[in-house]
Amino acid sequence: MVTCFINDYARNVRFLYRSTIRVWTGPSEFFELVRTTNHLGIALGLQVLRWLLHSGVTTAHFVVVNPPAMFPVPFDLDLGLYRSWEVWGFFPFGLGMLGLIAWVTWRVGRRRAGRPMSLAKTAEVVSLAWFAPWLPTFLTDNLLLSAGWAIPVVIVPAHTVVVGLEVWMTAVGLQQVFGLSRGPAWRISLAGGLIFMALAGAVIR
């Protein structure tokens, strides 16, 4: 029993390493591993970690530093008050955005997939694809905030690039795991990126 626990722990640690570091050197190889194994719990856990860190650290840092708003604050609300609401609200909102992207990806992609495409497996692929590209921004966002450079002309282009990487990673995952051809995989992944940018842009200040 102890041996099984140790083996499972070691296997999960290796998968975490592959999903955050090695994925950059071989995304196709990584998603081929995802196709033949089940790591839904880890994938969803990474998204929980992402939005906890974003809400509890990055957004809270925005409240403390209070840089200029990315976009106008709705209803002429006080910027500091609005951002304090973001601290509490962005965790469920972020998970909801990723859930919506996974659902849209599954609804559209299953008709074009060359292999069975369940909602659970789609959520696993999307959750993994939308984690590794985000990781560096957790550090850079907080460094920019500390340096006084968290301004729209810097933050918006940087995060647009990150969303582009997440779209690319999703497209690779859809091709490897579900057998979608390149065109549909990219179009579906791009739709997910546009959903994210529209919803995040409507809320983040």
pLDDT single digits (tens) 86-144: 778 888 999 999 999 999 999 999 989 989 999 999 999 999 999 999 988 888 888 88
Q: What is the pLDDT of residues 33-65, one digit of tens each?
A: 899 989 999 999 999 999 998 887 877 777 777
Q: What is the pTM of this model?
A: 0.86
Q: How does residue 5 score in pLDDT terms, banded at 50, 70 and 90? A: very low
Residue closest to 171 by CA, chosen among 157, 158, 181, 162: 181
Q: Is the pLDDT of residue 2 over 50?
A: no
Answer with the residue of higher pLDDT: 26 or 194. Answer: 194
% of the chain at pLDDT higher than 90: 45
Between the alpha carbon of residue 203 and those of residues 64, 115, 117, 155, the distances in Å are: 18, 36, 31, 15
* 134-138 LR contacts (CB < 8 Å, sep 24+): 134/50, 134/162, 134/166, 135/20, 136/162, 137/162, 138/53, 138/54, 138/57, 138/58
